[in-house]
Each structure stands twice: as C-alpha cells, then as structure tokens.
Amino acid sequence: MKKQTLQQGVKQIICIMMVLVVLAPIALTLFAAFKSKADMVNTSPLLLPPFARITLENFQKVLNDKYLLIGFKNTGIILAVSIFFNVLFGTITAFILERFNFRLKKFVMSLFFLGMLIPSFVTEIARFKIVTGMGLYNTLGAPIIIYVASDLMQLYIYRQFISTLPVSLDESALLDGCSYFGLFTRIIFPLLAPATATVVIIKAITIINDMYIPYLYMPKNKLRTLTTFLMNYANAQQGSWQKLAAGIIIIMLPTILIYIFFQKYILAGVAAGAVKE
C-alpha cells in the first residue's frame, strides 16, 4: 500500500513538473507584456508589476504597427492555400495507395516514407536552388510550394484512416454504378472529416509558428508573416522584450482558437488506424 502511494506521489510530481515546464514560458511572456521598460528591469520575471503600473501600451503599439495586418494577411493566404492543397493531394494519394494495387506500389510508398525520414535541412541548398529557379523567391509561392511538397505527414494520417474504412463501401458504390471519382468525392472524402480536421490543425500550427522558411525565402517587408513580424521587436535597433511579448500573445490567439475549434477531432484522426476491425 505504501509502495503504491509512493508511486502515485511520484507520478503526480512528474505531471506537475511537466505542466510547469509548459506553462512557465507562457506566464513569463504574459507578465512581460504588461510591464513597462523600467519594470522589465526592476521586477522579477516571475511577477506582475504592481497593479497601478500595469500597462496596455505594449499591446497598443503592436496593434498599431502596419506590418501586423500585413503579417496576418500573408500568413492567412499561405495557410489557406497550403492546407487546401495538402488536403487535396493527401486524400487523393492516400486513397490511391490504400485502395489500388499497381506495379511498383511498394517502391512508390518507400519513396514517400523516405522523404519523411530525410531532415529538410539536409536538402536545403537543393531546395533553395529549385525555388529560385522556378522564380518563386520573394513571393508567397515559395513557402506555399514548400509546405505542400515537403511535409508528407498528412499522407500517413489519411492512409491510416482509410485503412479502417471497409472495402465493402467501395464495392457497393461501384455496383450501383458509381465511378471511382464519385466514390472518392461522395463517400470516402466526407468520411475523412476527423482526419482532415487533424491535418488542418497540425498544419496550421506548423505554418503559423514557422519562422525559418518565410525569413529565408521572403525577405521583403511587404511579405512579412506573423513570425517574421515579431523579429522587428527582437532586433538590435528596435529591440523591446515587452513589445515582443505583447506581439507573441496577440499572435498566439489564432492558434489557440484553431485548436479549440478542432480539438475534438484530433484524437479521432491521429488514432484512426490504431484498431482495425
């Protein structure tokens, strides 16, 4: 009994520590966003300033920055187009690989999974040359084509989900005169809603949080995204930790809203292939 109690206590301590590791950076950022420059120096990072000195000036300055709207617009365009083609190509490719047998199928699947295993930075020089050769450098097309082509995670999620759908659905539809296109658009694709929601939220969070690709491929000011917008408050000339913290809080909100809206589908989509009937 004492041993079980001790084990439960250790587990609870570990869980509390994990929660603190996740929440501590968010709390520090939130506290910093309400501080003035003087309070950033004179008060502990773990504490809010006295109530009388709490300021909203940092949020006002960030919201009045003209590049914030540009960042939201560019990020929104990249997000919408990238996710649309990720879902379109991911569902079609997964349907073909899972439901059809053809020559070199195993080889094609091996190439897809090999692409998932190779770290992107290994091929960065070749990718940069391809993007510039296509004339996409310093355009919104550069991150879009990279997000669509280089991340194959959606293929794995859709294949796992389609594998749980009974083949009898396909057979019944085909016997009733449905074409393969009709089978996919009318039956298979609507049933992939949980997997699609999972892909949307994972891709959206990845794209919104990515700074490396927009910074490398779109250096123009008019092509700033939300993450490269934040760099304006972290540079040597205009660096301001409290404004940077306020910007982070503002930019966090879309990600949080996306997660809240789609969170009920996440577990169903990720675990779709865990059990087969």
pLDDT single digits (tens) 130-148: 999 999 999 999 999 999 8
Same domain, 125 and 3: no
Nearest-10 crossing angle of helices 2-33, 241-270: 130
What pLDDT is stored for residue 274 in this prediction? 47
Neighbours of 206 (CB within 10 A): 14
Long-range contacts of 89-92 (CB under 8 A, 24+ apart): 89/148, 90/154, 90/155, 90/157, 90/158, 90/199, 91/158, 91/184, 91/188, 91/189, 91/192, 91/196, 92/184
∠ CA(152), CA(153), CA(157), 5° rounding?
A: 125
Q: Give per-residue pLDDT as tens, 47-78.
A: 777 766 788 888 888 888 888 899 999 999 99
* 152: pLDDT strictly greater than 70: yes
What's 207's domain CATH number? 1.10.3720.10
Q: What is the pLDDT of residue 214?
A: 92
pLDDT of residue 57: 86
Residue range of the domain that includes 50: 1-55
Is 276 domain-assigned? no
**Which of 55, 76, 92 is a domain's end point?**
55
Task: Taking residues 159-181, report their average pLDDT.
Answer: 87
Average pLDDT over all residues of the chain: 83
Q: Are 47 and 171 part of one and the same domain?
A: no
For position 136, what pLDDT does the model report? 92
| Statement to judge: residues 220 and 153 lie in one domain | yes
Q: Does residue 275 form part of some domain? A: no
pLDDT > 90? residue 29: no
